[in-house]
Structure 1
Amino acid sequence: MNYAPHIINYLSASEDIREVYLVPKAFITEKRGQKLLKVSDTLLTPEDIRDTLVALRSHTPFALGPLGKEGMFSFGLQNVGRFRVKYITQRGSYVVYILKTPYHIPPLSKLCPDRNAVSKLEEIIRLYSSGVLLFQGKKHILVNTFIYSLLQNVCDNYSKVIFILEAPLTFLLRHGQSLVVQREVGVDVDTFEEGLRDAFYMNPHIIFMGYREVIPAKEAEYLLRLAEDALLLLNAPALDKVFTEFFKPLIRAWVYVSSNTDGTVSLSFKDTEPQAQESR
């Protein structure tokens, strides 16, 4: 049975970030904080999950080929939200993770009420033409949401060329005073490495590479070169010591993003003393 309409309707009831799991011989389950909530009254079969996965993927604007053993895709539904779907196999059956984020990017002023912290980041973006803004946090989707909110604020108020590389895209930025190029790995470009090579030809002011648990050496090499001529924003929660030391001279700020009980975020700075540099 295809449960995609039921899941979409359920997740549409709130604009909050929401997570749902589809696992064989279990109920459709939402993870909400530290709790698991049952969303359906029927245990899922492998066939149910496959039918639901195929139906969810039909919302994507691109033909993605066979499902394969694992994969990831995203799509947006107007006034409902953006859906990121990750699937893997377990003993030949699919296990699916669905993450729904708001359709519209939360305004920066509402997402982060700490105006002093936001002003520090705006000052770095205004003054620096190169280097690294490193973001970390326990909830990578919350970090991504904050970065997009920050970038939308940049789009609305500054004249920049912004290049985004992510798998899959969390939000779609609106052009404002800035121009935005967003590329989805697996759809627009095959790999992060290829996407980073393409960034050299675009000559952007700001580059955002979405959440990566591991950054291979070749990508790190490209990022280092790109950070010499552009301001690089990274959501990288678990950098090894070698990588951190590699980028340390270029880090303009090291920001930890955490959630408040009211849904807003707090920022704490580990490194706020970048060396002076002329803006371009």
Structure 2
Amino acid sequence: MNYLPHIVSYLSANEDITEIYLVPKAFIMERKGQKLIKVSDALLTPEDIRDTLVALRSHTTFALGPLGKEGMFSFGLQNVGRFRVKYITQRGSYVVHILKTPYNIPSLDKLCPNKNDLSRLEEIIRIYSSGFFVFQGRNHLLVNTFIYSFLQKVCDSYGKVIFILESPLTFLLRHGQSLVVQREVGVDVDTFEEGLKDAFYMNPNILFVGYREIIQPKELEYMLMLAENTLLILNLPAVDKAFIELSSSLLRAWVHVESGMEGTVCLSFKGTEPQAQENR
């Protein structure tokens, strides 16, 4: 059975960022903070999940091929939001994670009510035209949401060229005083490496590279070259020693993002040395 209509109906009633899980022999579940909320009363079969996954993927704009063992794609539904879908296999059956984000990016002032912290962030944008601006946090989705909210504020307040490279795109920024170019890896460009190479020709003032667990050596090489003339904003879960050693002279700020009260975030500025992690 295809449960997409039921999922869309559920998500349409919720304007917040929402995570949905489809796992065989379990109910459709929403993860909300530290809790799981049941979305349906029927236990999912592998066939249910496959039918729902096929229906989800039918909304994408690129050519469809075999599902394969794993994959990721994104799309938007009017009046609902943007969907990012990641799927893997478990003993031959699919497990699906659906992340829905609203079209409207949360307001920076509401997301971070601490005006002193916001002033420090804007000061970095005003002072620096090159280097690395690293964000970290235990919840990479929260960090990504905050970065987009911050970038929308930059778009509205400054005349810059902002280049975004992400897989897949979480939000769509609006042009303001700034111009925005957003490329989705896997759709607009094949790899992060190719997208970083293309960024040289765009000559952006700000380059945001979305959440990356591991930075490949060639990607890091391009980032270091770009950071000589561009301010690179990165969402990194951890930074290995190689990154610290190579980027230390170009590291402008490191900000830790954590959940605050009632949907807000708390920021802590950690100087210029991110938390190191041994190379894996």
Same-fold call, TM > 0.5? yes
Equivalent residue number for residue 214 of structure 2: 214
Q: Which amino acid aligns with 1:182?
A: Q
Q: Are the counterparts in 2 of residues 81 and 103 from structure 1 also a CA contact under 8 Å?
A: yes
Query: Structure 1: any 5+ residue segments left out of the alignment?
Result: 274-280
Task: Detail structure 1 runs of 4+ shifted over 6 Å in the superposition.
Answer: none
Could you tell me how far apart the structure 1 residues matched to 2:261 and 2:67 are? 38
How far the C-alpha of 1:205 sits from its partner, in A, is: 0.4
Could you tell me how far apart the structure 2 residues matched to 1:61 and 1:208 are? 24
Task: Work out the percentage of aligned pairs sharing the same amino acid.
Answer: 77
Equivalent residue number for residue 5 of structure 2: 5
Q: Are the counterparts in 2 of residues 168 and 185 from structure 1 also a CA contact under 8 Å?
A: yes
How far the C-alpha of 1:64 sits from its partner, in A, is: 3.8
- Residues 1-280 of structure 1: matches in 2 within 5 Å? 1-271=1-271
Query: Structure 2: any 5+ residue segments left out of the alignment?
Result: 274-280
How far the C-alpha of 1:63 sits from its partner, in A, is: 2.4
Could you tell me how far apart the structure 2 residues matched to 1:145 and 1:34 are? 19
What TM-score results when the alignment is normalised by the length of structure 1? 0.94
How far the C-alpha of 1:75 sits from its partner, in A, is: 1.3
Deviations 1:209-266 (A, max 9, x none): 0000111111111111111110000000111122122212111110001111300111
How far the C-alpha of 1:166 sits from its partner, in A, is: 0.2
Q: Are the counterparts in 2 of residues 163 and 208 from structure 1 also a CA contact under 8 Å?
A: yes
Q: Which amino acid aligns with 1:134?
A: V
How far the C-alpha of 1:272 sits from its partner, in A, is: 6.5
Out of 168-177 and 245-254, give the one that drifted further: 245-254
Out of 155-164 and 237-246, give the one that drifted further: 237-246
Could you tell me how far apart the structure 2 residues matched to 1:35 and 1:111 are? 22
Could you tell me how far apart the structure 1 residues matched to 2:267 and 2:149 are? 14
Deviations 1:182-206 (A, max 9, x none): 0000000111001101001110000
Partner-residue secondary structure (3-state), 1:271? coil
Q: Are the counterparts in 1 of residues 248 and 272 from structure 2 also a CA contact under 8 Å?
A: no
Q: Which amino acid aligns with 2:35?
A: K
Q: Are the counterparts in 1 of residues 70 and 88 from structure 2 also a CA contact under 8 Å?
A: yes
Could you tell me how far apart the structure 1 residues matched to 2:270 and 2:238 are? 15
Partner-residue secondary structure (3-state), 2:270? strand
Q: Are the counterparts in 1 of residues 164 and 182 from structure 2 also a CA contact under 8 Å?
A: yes
Could you tell me how far apart the structure 1 residues matched to 2:35 and 2:107 are? 28
Could you tell me how far apart the structure 2 residues matched to 1:28 and 1:102 are? 20
Count of matched residue pairs: 273
Could you tell me how far apart the structure 2 residues matched to 1:35 and 1:109 are? 27
Out of 80-89 and 225-234, give the one that drifted further: 80-89
How far the C-alpha of 1:36 sits from its partner, in A, is: 1.6
Q: Are the counterparts in 1 of residues 23 and 96 from structure 2 also a CA contact under 8 Å?
A: yes
Q: Which amino acid aligns with 2:157?
A: N
Equivalent residue number for residue 277 of structure 2: none
Q: Are the counterparts in 2 of residues 77 and 103 from structure 1 also a CA contact under 8 Å?
A: no
Could you tell me how far apart the structure 2 residues matched to 1:148 and 1:3 are? 31
Backbone CA RMSD of aligned residues: 1.3
Partner-residue secondary structure (3-state), 2:228? coil
How far the C-alpha of 1:42 sits from its partner, in A, is: 1.0
Could you tell me how far apart the structure 2 residues matched to 1:254 and 1:5 are? 42
